[in-house]
Structure 1
Amino acid sequence: MDFHSIRIVFLGSTLGLILRIIIQNNLKINLGFDIQNISVVNFIGSFFLGIFVALNFSNNNLLMLFYAGFLGSFSTFSSFIYQLFILFQKRKFLSLFFHYLEVMFIAFILFYLGYFLVKFLLM
């Protein structure tokens, strides 16, 4: 990896991190059930991933900027695993199970929605 590529990934990851922190600290959503802000971040990340996959970038710089940089830093799988671990420690196994299912289901639906919207708009 050359210095130019490192700068591109650094730029994308910086933007992703800043946006994630803003959302985590400032977003207040009441959907009628308890949902963590990090889950909302991961849902948005899934939607963006669907868009980026549908756009099918052939430029390596754009791939590194958006996939490795922005999305790698914006959506955090480790935070999701940490949420599951906390529920496990508290012995809230039913909550753990349903939280896992809701995040996986919603993230997949939003990924597909982003993908579908781009494909539909580019027809």
Structure 2
Amino acid sequence: MDINSIIIVLFGSSFGLILRIFIQNNLKINLGFNIQNTSIVNFIASFFLGILVALNFIHNKILLLSYAGFLGSFSTFSSFIYQLFVLLQQGKLMRLFFHYIEAIILSFCCFYLGYYLMQIFK
């Protein structure tokens, strides 16, 4: 990997990290049940990933900026795993199960929605 590629990934990841921290600290959504802000970030990242996959970028610098840089830093798989671990430690097994299902299914639905919308608008 050359220095230009590293700079591009760092640039994208900086914006991804800033946006993730902003959403995790400031966004409160109540849909009648508690959705973790980490899940909201993952839903948004999945939606944008669906859009990017539908756009089918070929240019390497765009891939590095968007996939590896921005979305790699914006999405929070390790935070999701930590939340599951905390629920396990607290003995909240039903909540752990529903949080896992919520995150996997809704993230996939957000991905598909982004992909589907881009297929319509292409």
TM-score of the superposed pair, with normalisation by structure 2: 0.99
Post-superposition shift, 1:61?
0.1
Name the counterpart of 1:31: 31
Counterparts of 2:6 and 2:36, CA distance in 1: 32
Provide the residue aligned with 1:14 in structure 2. 14
Q: Could you tell me how far 1:99 is from its partner in structure 2?
A: 0.6
Amino acid corresponding to residue 95 of structure 1 in structure 2: R
Paired residue total? 122
Matched, 1:69 2:65: no
Distance in 2 separating the partners of 1:109 and 1:38: 16
* Paired letter, 1:61: K
Gapped regions of structure 2 (runs ≥ 5): none
Whole-Å separation in 1 of the counterparts to 2:40 and 2:15: 17
TM-score computed with the length of structure 1 as normaliser? 0.98
C-alpha separation between the residues in 1 aligned to 2:108 and 2:101?
Answer: 11
Q: Deviation above 6 Å: which 4+ runs of structure 1?
A: none
CA displacement at 1:35 relative to structure 2: 1.0
For residues 61-116 of structure 1, the C-alpha deviation after alignment (integer angstroms, 9 at most, x for no partner) is 00000000000000010000001000000011111011100111100000000000
> What is the RMSD of the two structures over their aligned residues, measured on CA atoms?
0.5
Mapping for residues 1-123 of structure 1, pairs under 5 Å: 1-122=1-122
The answer for unaligned runs of 5 or more in structure 1 is none
Identity percentage of aligned residues:
67
